[in-house]
Amino acid sequence: MGLLSRKVTCNSHGQDSSYFLGWQEYEKNPYDEVKNPKGIIQMGLAENQLCFDLLESWLAKNPDAVSFKREEQSIFKELALFQDYHGLPAFKKALVDFMAEIRGNKVSFDTDHLVLTAGATSANETLMFCLAEKGDAILLPTPYYPGFDRDLKWRTGAEIVPIQCSSSNGFQITESALEAAYQEAQRKNLRVKGVLVTNPSNPLGTTMSRNELDLLVNFVTDKEIHLISDEIYSGTVFSSPAFVSIMEVLKDRKLENTQVWERVHVVYSLSKDLGLPGFRVGAIYSNDPIVVAAATKMSSFGLVSSQTQYLLSAMLSDKKFTKEYISKNHKRLQKRQNKLVSGLEKAGISCLESNAGLFCWVDMRHLLSSNTFEAEMELWKRIVYDVKLNISPGSSCHCTEPGWFRVCFANMSEDTLKLAMQRLKSFVSSISIDNQTHQDLKNMRKKNRTKWVFRLSFQSFHDREQGER
């Protein structure tokens, strides 16, 4: 072990989080309708599988893109040979246009400010390497995506200081919570380099309000720090309120060419909006040319293949396709989310009202044996091992209140979701019966104890009377 680095032997990756442990249990016993109908249903994976028919239909109609041809001539050799890490111009142009389309073309993006990365994981870590190092901290509102403990901290040495949000206002960010997190970082002798938010939120499934975004801009302006807006779910907003990008806020406030303008950075990916996590396509968009230059150099450690870029540049340049895809994706996400919410309601479970994402933030506080995180883990284990559903406990997302869970709905068929809800409903009913039986026993014991005390008192009174006579 002495010949290995401290990074190899340290335990700061976060792989032991219940978020990842649930995945491991699923992989040991995955549900399959035919081969393993009693297996674990994966509801801990935020993956969008609702529009593969649209993608496959486009691929069938565009054989040149699939077979790496241009005007029916093979360009395989061109794509297979070395490409620099700046990326294919055609793909970068198609990507920024798609990003603008998702945002209703209220803002536009310049390819010169875009850095391609191997997914959003790589984008977030690359930004951390550009902005922070050991002894520095990034503020994150809770609850937050469990993978950030890995992406932001593991290799960079930076720290995360949570901005504590609560259910009392729907987990929205407040000025007092921001200031408290900043002061907490200072007490720990950490230099705050910025705030990172996910908008729409993972795990809440909600879009940030304009007031929250204005509050963040004011805060980072006052503290002279960075703001990172991870907008990986920007194309999953299926109902009002609409998504507002941080770039739109800056534009509306006429903050272009100001110091704060250069300290705002956007992370994006095609993993959620287009349902292509396996393609490993992410991006950093920054208004700071120094950050763009440094991140571009760092991107050589995690490039997007030329073949992937060529295929997706053709797909995203097809405006008829992107328009249809965005519209149908929104409708299908809303329909599926409604089915999850309805199934939860039938089981006597509510969730935070949401309008985006591939999951719901589910309130199971009433199912806890006590208001503790130990009770939350006890409930989570029963759901994974007995109910055979892998969901993510709120503690893995650093939620400050026990009993909240993230439940995904877009990575499975409608029939599988229906089965998952049936399992959950049966489980909740069994808990209710157990609780009622337990309460009946308590009432019986109390009743018997009262009778016993009465009899004892009566016997004592009778004995005294006999003695006095």
Residues 101, 105, 111: CA angle, nearest 5 degrees: 75
Choose, from 102, 138, 163, 232, the residue flagged as catalytic: 232
pLDDT score, position 17: 73
Choose, from 153, 193, 272, 388, the residue flagged as catalytic: 272
Quote the CATH superfamily of domain 6-52+330-427: Aspartate Aminotransferase, domain 1 (3.90.1150.10)
Upstream peptide bond of 141 is cis (omega within 30 degrees of 0): no
pLDDT score, position 39: 96
Give catalytic status of residue 223 as yes or no: no
pLDDT score, position 404: 98
Residues 365-372, mean pLDDT to the nearest whole number: 96
Choose, from 97, 149, 151, 230, the residue flagged as catalytic: 230
Structure tokens at 293: 């230059």
Structure tokens at 339: 């089915």
* Domain 62-322 CATH class label: alpha beta
Give catalytic status of residue 31 as yes or no: no
The per-residue pLDDT for range 164-193, each reduced to its tens digit, is 999 999 999 999 999 999 999 999 999 999
Give catalytic status of residue 173 as yes or no: no
pLDDT score, position 3: 79
Global confidence as pTM: 0.88
Q: Confidence class of residue 219 from pLDDT cuts 50, 70 and 90?
A: very high
Of 275, 391, 306, nearest in space to 22 by CA: 391
pLDDT score, position 80: 80
- CB crowding 2-19: b at 16 or more within 10 Å, else e: eeeeeeeeeeeebeebbb
Give catalytic status of residue 230 as yes or no: yes
For the chain, what are the domain ranges?
Answer: 6-52+330-427, 62-322
% of the chain exceeding 70 in pLDDT: 90
Amino acid found at 304: V
Q: Which residues pair with 159 in a beta bridge?
A: 137
Q: Do 429 and 175 contact (CB within 8 A), yes or no? A: no
Choose, from 26, 31, 144, 145, the residue flagged as catalytic: 145
Q: Confidence class of residue 464 from pLDDT cuts 50, 70 and 90?
A: very low
